[in-house]
Amino acid sequence: MSNRFRLRDALAEFPPYVPGKPPTTAPGLKPYKLSSNENHLPPLPSVVEAIADAGQAPANYPDPKATKLVADLAAHLDVDQSEVVPGAGASEILSALTNITLEAGTSVVYPWPSFEMYPILASARGAEKRPVPLLDDGRHDFPGLVAAIDDTTRLIMLCSPNNPTGPSISASELEGFMAEVPAEVIVVLDEAYFEFATAAEVVDGMAAYRKFPNLVLARTFSKAHGLAGLRVGFGVADPTIATALRQVIAPFSVTSAAQVAAVESLSRNDEVLVRAKEVAATRDQFEQDLRDAGLTVADSQGNYVWVNLDDDAAIAFEEACARQAVAIRRLSGGVRVSIGADEALDRVREVARSFEQSRIA
């Protein structure tokens, strides 16, 4: 890289973010993208109408405070408006949290593998990254996370359900962990996929937030609400933390269309949750079908499944799906398959059956 310009040295250490691949084409096959955990169901009709209406005045800046959205979220969650911070997806909330806590000489603790933005954001702030390997079943290693904390730690990132492996954090796990975390250290619970969770023991993020002042929730309308393309999410945090977050989030980051879409979708949250549970039922059946085909699959609570494969097998599986015009996500240790249309999942099922038969032969 040229040293002509005075850029930060930390840029050389950034792990690249690799988005999900688009599907390849194959003769006679409709292409499907199951590589980005997008909701394959369209937003509710009234949400689409709200987006269209909001697009009538694109020359105007959006409400910088997202007043209506913040008020509705606060009422929905039964918190004060001062505790709600809107952002361009949960990613902007996570980025803002690293911005208000991390710098050179500090450290951040997080499970790994998990959301790929965690190490990228830590590197951007010049902080020491402390990834803690997941347990063999894809769950967080909470004793390991506790052991990674020291007096330099300013932020801890948790992911429930964990992306890409799928398991959720239980209420007892989180409570036990929070009891071990110093009260001045901020812990963020990334709940991008919480609406898809169906296990009885899954932690209730809002209930935990009310118990622990240093816990911040990061949520999004991207997944269950099907608004990933509009980039709208929010954080729930102690007012002191929330005020600091607002200081570093760019003005007007949540567009007018995103605000009205989120408001309308939130007003129909019961319908959104019904559809999320339908996706979850499809996920559970798909997960079991892959197991029946001979694959090792984690217990997922998101809108995706994780298949444990060594690197060579993961490449082969991804390529086999690509030949069927289905894009999936290959990561270290396996592949992640988002829940999509029945036809797409059927093709992956067939790949799984053929794949295992070829490995046995």
pLDDT in tens, 209-258: 999 999 999 999 999 999 999 999 999 999 999 999 999 999 999 999 99
Mean pLDDT of the chain: 95
Q: Can you tell me which residue has the tokens 């816990």?
A: 215
Cα separation, 122 vs 361, whole angstroms? 45
Q: Can you tell me which residue has the tokens 């339908």?
A: 278
Q: Residues spanned by CATH 3.90.1150.10 within the chain? A: 18-37+270-360
Return the pLDDT at 158: 98
Return the pLDDT at 3: 66
- Which pLDDT band holds residue 21 (cuts at 50, 70, 90)? confident
| pLDDT at position 22 over 90 | no
Q: Residues spanned by CATH 3.40.640.10 within the chain? A: 45-267
45-267 to CATH, choices 3.40.640.10, 3.40.1360.10, 3.30.2350.10, 3.40.50.150: 3.40.640.10
Q: For the chain, how far is it from start to end, CA to CA, in angstroms?
A: 48
Q: pLDDT above 70 covers what percent of the chain? A: 98
Q: How far is CA 2 from CA 6, 64, 186, in A?
A: 10, 38, 38
Q: pLDDT above 90 covers what percent of the chain? A: 89
Return the pLDDT at 1: 47
Question: Which of 194, 124, 185 minimizes the C-alpha distance to 157?
Answer: 185
What pTM was computed for the model? 0.94
Mean pLDDT of 114-120: 96
- Which pLDDT band holds residue 12 (cuts at 50, 70, 90)? confident
Domain 18-37+270-360 is in which class? alpha beta
- Whether 197 contacts 171, CB under 8 Å: no
Mean pLDDT of 85-98: 98
Per residue in 147-197, pLDDT (tens digit) is 999 999 999 999 999 999 999 999 999 999 999 999 999 999 999 999 999
Per residue in 202-211, pLDDT (tens digit) is 999 999 999 9
Mean pLDDT of 251-267: 97
